[in-house]
C-alpha cells in the first residue's frame, strides 16, 4: 500500500467511523422511552369473532351509535430507535360507557351496550400509523380497587409483543390512585395519551423492536 492508498484507506475509515458515530448518536438522541408493559387482565377477547374495524362506535346494520362520548385516538407504533413499524398488529379492547366489558369473565352488572364494538384489530400503515374512533370507557370497580378509564392494547411488532394499557391525561387524579397505573412507576407517563383537541388523543407505542 503506498502513501496515497494508506491516506485514502485511513480517510475512509475515519469517514465511516464518523458516520457510524453520527448514526449511533442520532439513534441515542432520538430513542424514545419504551412503552410500559401492563398485565393483560381477565378480559382479553379470546372468543370474539364480531366486527373489529377501527370504528368501535357504529356496527354494520345498526341504526344507533354506541352510548357515551365519542373520541378519536391516533398514534404510531415505533421501534426502540423511534423508527415507524409498518405492518404491526394491534388488538385493543375496552369497557363500554357504563364500565362493562362484553366478556364471559365479566362480573360487573352494569348494562351491556348492543351497539358498542368493544374490540378492534388494526394493522399499522407505512408510517406506523393507526387510529380508532371509539367512546371513552368508564371507570369500573374490581376486588383490588377502582380502575381508572383505560384501553387495553396487545401490540405485535416484527420481533416483540407488548401488552399495554392507555390512560387519559384528564384523569390524572384517578390514574394516580389506580393500582395498575401505580405499578408502572417511572414508565407511567409512556402509558398516558396526549390530548390534541377536545375528544382527540394521540398515543405512540414504542416496542423493543429494531426495524
Query: In the complex, which residues of this chain contact Fe ion (CB under 5 A)?
Result: 41
Nearer to Fe ion (CB atom), residue 76 or residue 152: 152
Minimum CB separation of residue 43 from Fe ion in Å reads: 6
- 173 CB neighbour count, 10 Å cutoff: 8
Q: Nearest-CB residue to Fe ion?
A: 41
Nearer to Fe ion (CB atom), residue 41 or residue 187: 41
Minimum CB separation of residue 175 from Fe ion in Å reads: 13
* CA 66 – CA 112 distance, rounded (Å): 10
Minimum CB separation of residue 100 from Fe ion in Å reads: 11
Minimum CB separation of residue 30 from Fe ion in Å reads: 32
* CA 197 – CA 199 distance, rounded (Å): 6
Nearer to Fe ion (CB atom), residue 80 or residue 147: 147
Minimum CB separation of residue 152 from Fe ion in Å reads: 6
Nearer to Fe ion (CB atom), residue 88 or residue 151: 151
Nearer to Fe ion (CB atom), residue 41 or residue 68: 41
Amino acid at each position: 500500500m503506498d502513501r496515497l492508498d494508506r491516506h485514502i484507506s485511513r480517510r475512509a475509515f475515519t469517514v465511516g467511523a464518523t458516520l457510524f458515530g453520527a448514526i449511533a448518536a442520532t439513534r441515542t438522541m432520538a430513542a424514545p422511552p419504551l412503552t410500559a408493559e401492563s398485565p393483560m387482565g381477565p378480559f382479553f377477547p379470546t372468543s370474539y369473532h364480531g366486527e373489529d374495524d377501527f370504528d368501535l362506535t357504529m356496527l354494520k346494520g345498526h341504526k344507533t351509535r354506541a352510548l357515551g362520548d365519542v373520541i378519536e385516538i391516533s398514534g404510531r407504533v415505533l421501534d426502540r430507535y423511534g423508527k415507524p413499524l409498518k405492518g404491526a398488529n394491534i388488538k385493543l379492547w375496552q369497557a363500554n360507557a357504563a364500565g362493562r366489558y362484553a366478556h364471559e369473565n365479566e362480573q360487573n352488572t352494569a348494562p351491556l351496550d348492543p351497539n358498542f364494538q368493544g374490540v378492534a384489530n388494526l394493522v399499522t400503515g407505512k408510517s406506523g400509523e393507526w387510529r380508532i374512533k371509539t367512546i371513552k370507557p368508564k371507570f369500573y370497580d374490581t376486588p383490588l380497587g377502582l380502575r381508572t378509564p383505560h384501553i387495553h392494547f396487545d401490540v405485535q411488532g416484527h420481533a416483540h409483543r407488548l401488552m399495554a394499557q392507555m390512560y387519559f391525561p384528564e384523569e390524572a387524579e384517578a390514574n394516580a390512585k389506580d393500582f395498575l397505573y401505580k405499578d408502572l412507576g417511572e414508565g407511567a407517563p409512556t402509558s398516558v395519551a396526549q390530548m390534541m383537541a377536545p375528544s382527540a388523543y394521540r398515543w405512540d407505542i414504542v416496542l423493543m423492536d429494531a426495524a
